[in-house]
Amino acid sequence: MSFEIISVVGLGYIGLPTAAVFASRKKKVIGVDVNQTAVDTINRGEIHIIEPDLDMVVHAAVSAGYLRATTRPEAADAFLIAVPTPFKGGHAPDLSYIEAASKAIAPVLKRGDLVILESTSPVGATEQMAAWLAEARSDLTFPQTHGEDSDIRVAHCPERVLPGHVLRELVQNDRVIGGMTPKCSKLAVKLYKTFVEGECVVTSARTAEMCKLTENSFRDVNIAFANELSIICDKLDINVWELIRLANRHPRVNILQPGPGVGGHCIAVDPWFIVSKTPEQAKLIRTAREVNDGKPQWVLDKVRLAVAEYLQENTEKTAKDVTIACFGLAFKPDIDDLRESPAVAITQQVAATHPGPVLAVEPNIEKLSGKLADKLTLYKVEQALAEADVIVLLVDHKEFKDVAKPLLDGHKVVDTRGVWAV
Ligand code: SAJ
């Protein structure tokens, strides 16, 4: 079986780079997305998301005729589903996008096709997807009923790429391939070997699902440990950054870095998929989520304290004379991605509650949009340093690391990333 046509369903942060990389290996790729604007943008050879170098790869793939986007699924030899899996109320996973994608591709499936679920999913989602497909196509057989003899092969191959390095990691990272049967895995390995230079390691669909959740929960728990340490050290008047540097000199200790909370679309979400399946057992994983989700409020309390201290030292002033500058809006350093960013949440909350001026500094973006633009104005680093009384460092961007220490003199500083509090 060779894959002449590959369809990628969901052209977002994972689907679009994956489609483009297949196309760059001269595979005919049909990208499917419900968003007409995204489809039109891609068909013009442009992109609607932020990821270094992706614009060039997509442009080349579309111009060479290997990549085309559409809103309506078409026949293909392999389908990769890369749609969002957010959570709904009570942190329960929302599989409605997977359900919609399965029902959309079902009519064009044919004997011998491979369907891969790439979306980060709770354990059991691949089996559920296969059930939706089987329900829609009683004329075809599926692995859950026909095992190795099924017409359609189904596997889970979670994406594990780091935003900002997606194109490199897609090719270089090892890939966990969880087929519903060994034959399903074998076929999926063959497909990924089109571009994956890392190892394709085979397991079951359920283990592959849990593996992805485990990776992000591991990171979440470790960041929570660092965040909790920062709160403890603050109480004990110990510099947490120095403490972590010292502890990490131990050959078997490697503590991550505290921050204002955990942002992005993966680490703050995926652990809940474990918790919602096994609420009684997942005690540590749940607590880690709560520790990290509680950190922005702790930072806000620190900001209030810094303003109070400033006012104590400057008795002629009132709170509305105090200018606060929030340094950084992105969810992690040196990127321009503001989605699910604790820095944005904190800055918005400061702007909503502080009676004086609040300045936002984000060197990676040109202008603010949406709700942020209503309340805030973007300032350059130097301007903000000149005007602010209280400085809140929220993201460890390189522009902030470059600020000369003497420029901070005379300011109250809340440094959530240890950039200046060395
Ligand atoms: N963070 C800290 N302290 C640290 C490390 C991170 O506070 O020491 C914060 C960051 O500032 C950010 C958040 O955690 O707000 C998440 O950032 P990240 O760089 O840890 O991860 P993501 O969300 O960009 O990407 C993660 C990656 N997972 C792991 O490293 C285990 C990536 O490989 C996954 O593919 C991605 O989630 C995903 O899509 O699931």
Q: Give the length of the chain.
A: 422
**Does ligand 1 have an atom closer than 6 angstroms to the CB of 215?**
yes
**Ligand 1 mean position, distance from CA 146 (Å):** 39
| CA-proximal residue: ligand 1, atom 40 (nearest) | 266
Give pLDDT tens digits for 193-236.
999 999 999 999 999 999 999 999 999 999 999 999 999 999 99
pLDDT at 64 over 80: yes
Mean pLDDT value across residues 230-243: 98
Q: What pLDDT score was predicted for residue 422? A: 63
Q: What pLDDT score was predicted for residue 354? A: 97
**Does ligand 1 have an atom closer than 6 angstroms to the CB of 163?**
yes
pLDDT at 374 over 90: no
Mean pLDDT of the chain: 96
**Ligand 1 mean position, distance from CA 364 (Å):** 19
Distance CA 354, CA 189 (A): 55
| Helices 205-236 & 270-277 angle (0-180, nearest 10) | 110
- pTM, entire model: 0.94
**Does ligand 1 have an atom closer than 6 angstroms to the CB of 331?**
yes
Do 136 and 106 touch, CB atoms closer than 8 A?
Answer: yes
Mean pLDDT value across residues 375-383: 94
- Confidence class of residue 369 from pLDDT cuts 50, 70 and 90? confident
Q: Which stretches within 237-282 are classed as H helix?
A: 240-247, 270-277
Q: What percent of the chain has pLDDT over 70?
A: 100
State the DSSP code for 108: G
**Ligand 1 mean position, distance from CA 155 (Å):** 25
Which domains, and CATH codes, for the chain? 5-198 (3.40.50.720), 239-415 (3.40.50.720)
**Does ligand 1 have an atom closer than 6 angstroms to the CB of 174?**
no
Tokens 């909503």 sit on residue: 352
**Ligand 1 mean position, distance from CA 169 (Å):** 14
The residues that are catalytic are 212, 266
**Does ligand 1 have an atom closer than 6 angstroms to the CB of 178?**
no
**Ligand 1 mean position, distance from CA 267 (Å):** 6
pLDDT at 260 over 90: yes
| CA-proximal residue: ligand 1, atom 14 (nearest) | 262
pLDDT at 127 over 80: yes
Tokens 């400033």 sit on residue: 310
Given its phi and psi angles, is residue 328 left (phi above 0), alpha (psi -120 to 50 degrees) or beta?
Answer: left
Mean pLDDT value across residues 109-137: 98
| CA-proximal residue: ligand 1, atom 1 (nearest) | 262
**Does ligand 1 have an atom closer than 6 angstroms to the CB of 266?**
yes
Ligand 1 atom with the shortest distance to the CA of 13:
39
**Ligand 1 mean position, distance from CA 304 (Å):** 28
Q: What pLDDT score was predicted for residue 202? A: 98
Mutate which of 14, 49, 214, 219 for ligand 1? The one with the most ligand atoms within 8 Å of its CB, which is: 219
Q: What pLDDT score was predicted for residue 335? A: 86
Mean pLDDT value across residues 250-262: 98
Residues in CB range of 378: below 8 A, 6 or more apart: 360, 361, 362, 365, 367, 368
Mutate which of 291, 332, 346, 364 for ligand 1? The one with the most ligand atoms within 8 Å of its CB, which is: 332
Single out the residue of 342, 411, 348 nearest to residue 375, CA to CA: 348
**Ligand 1 mean position, distance from CA 358 (Å):** 28
- Confidence class of residue 163 from pLDDT cuts 50, 70 and 90? confident
Burial of 43 (0-12, 13-18, 19+ CB in 10 A): middle
Q: What is the DSSP string of 352-395?
A: HH-SS-EEEE-TT-S---HHHHHH-EEE-HHHHHHH-SEEEE-S
Give pLDDT tens digits for 5-57.
999 999 999 999 999 999 999 999 999 999 999 999 999 999 998 888 999 99
**Does ligand 1 have an atom closer than 6 angstroms to the CB of 412?**
no
Q: What pLDDT score was predicted for residue 211? A: 98
| CA-proximal residue: ligand 1, atom 15 (nearest) | 263
